[in-house]
Amino acid sequence: MRQMKTIAILVAAGRGLRAGGDLPKQWQPLAGARVFDHALTALAGHPRIDDVLAVIHSDDEAQLPEGVAFVHGGQTRAASVRAGLEAARDGGFTHVLIHDAARACLPAEVTDRVMGALEAHDAAAPALRVTDALWRSEAGTVAEAVPRAALWRAQTPQGFAFAAILAAHESAEGTEADDVEIARNHGLDVAIVEGHEDNLKLTHPADFARAERILGGQMDIRLGNGFDVHAFEPGDHVVLCGVRVPHDRALKGHSDADVGMHAVTDAIYGALAMGDIGRHFPPSDARWRGAASHVFLEHACALARETGFEIGNIDCTLVCEHPKIGPHAEAMQAEMARIMKLEPARVSIKATTSERLGFTGREEGIAALATATLVKP
Q: How many domains does the chain have?
A: 2
Residue 347, strand partner residues = 314
Distances (CA, A) of 314 to 223, 226, 278, 318, 374: 10, 11, 21, 13, 9
**What is the maximal distance between C-alpha atoms in the chain?**
91
Please confirm whether the linkage preceding 24 is cis (ω < 30° from 0): no
Give the Cα separation of 144 and 79 in Å (integer). Answer: 37
In a domain, 291, yes or no: yes
User: Using only C-alpha atoms, what is the Rg of the chain?
Assistant: 29
The answer to whether 141 and 242 have CB atoms below 8 angstroms apart is no
Select from 89, 84, 95 the least CA-distant residue to 3.
95
What is the amino acid identity at position 370?
A: A
pLDDT for the residue 217: 63
Give the Cα separation of 156 and 16 in Å (integer). Answer: 17
The answer to whether 51 and 94 have CB atoms below 8 angstroms apart is no
Name 336's Cβ contacts closer than 8 Å, sequence gap at least 6.
Answer: 241, 242, 261, 264, 297, 314, 316, 342, 347, 349
Residues 60 and 81 in one domain: yes
In a domain, 1, yes or no: no
Query: Of 186, 217, 248, at which residue does a domain stop?
Result: 217
Query: Of 164, 183, 217, at which residue does a domain stop?
Result: 217
Secondary structure element (H or E) that encloses residue 184, with its range: helix 179-185
Give the Cα separation of 311 and 303 in Å (integer). Answer: 11
Three-state SS for 120? coil
In a domain, 330, yes or no: yes
Distances (CA, A) of 104 to 23, 31, 210, 252: 16, 10, 11, 53
**Percent helix, percent strand, percent coil in the chain, to nearest 5:** 35, 30, 35
Residues 155 and 290 in one domain: no
Pairing of strands 70-72, 243-246: unpaired
φ/ψ of 152, rounded to 5, equals -130, 150
Residues 168 and 63 in one domain: yes
CB-based burial label for 59 (10 Å; 0-12, 13-18, 19+): exposed
CATH number assigned to the domain comprising residue 334: 3.30.1330.50
Query: Of 217, 249, 273, at which residue does a domain stop?
Result: 217
Residues 305 and 189 in one domain: no
Residues 155 and 249 in one domain: no
Residues 226 and 359 in one domain: yes
Residues 183 and 291 in one domain: no
In a domain, 164, yes or no: yes
φ/ψ of 315, rounded to 5, equals -130, 120
Residues 370 and 235 in one domain: yes
φ/ψ of 251, rounded to 5, equals -100, 140
Eight-class DSSP state of 65: P
DSSP E strand stretches across the chain: 6-12, 29-30, 33-34, 51-56, 70-72, 95-100, 123-129, 134-138, 141-146, 152-154, 158-161, 191-194, 220-234, 237-240, 243-246, 249-251, 310-319, 347-352, 365-376
In a domain, 44, yes or no: yes
In a domain, 346, yes or no: yes
In a domain, 193, yes or no: yes
Name 94's Cβ contacts closer than 8 Å, sequence gap at least 6.
Answer: 2, 3, 4, 5, 6, 161, 162
Tens of each residue's pLDDT in the chain, 377 residues:
568 999 999 999 988 666 667 789 999 999 889 999 999 999 999 999 999 999 999 999 999 999 999 999 999 999 999 999 999 999 999 999 999 999 999 999 999 999 999 999 999 999 999 999 999 999 999 999 999 999 999 999 999 999 999 999 999 987 888 999 999 999 999 999 999 999 999 999 999 999 998 887 666 889 999 999 999 999 999 999 999 999 999 999 877 899 999 999 999 999 999 999 989 998 888 887 878 899 999 999 999 999 989 999 999 999 999 999 999 999 999 999 999 999 999 999 999 999 999 999 999 999 999 999 999 86
Range of the domain at 339: 220-376
pLDDT for the residue 37: 96
Residues 158 and 38 in one domain: yes
Residues 179 and 50 in one domain: yes
Residues 368 and 227 in one domain: yes
Query: Whole-prediction pTM value?
Result: 0.61
Alpha helices (H) along 272-342? 277-280, 294-306, 329-340
Ramachandran quadrant class, 174 (left: phi over 0; alpha: psi -120 to 50; beta: rest): left
pLDDT for the residue 19: 63
The answer to whether 123 and 165 have CB atoms below 8 angstroms apart is yes
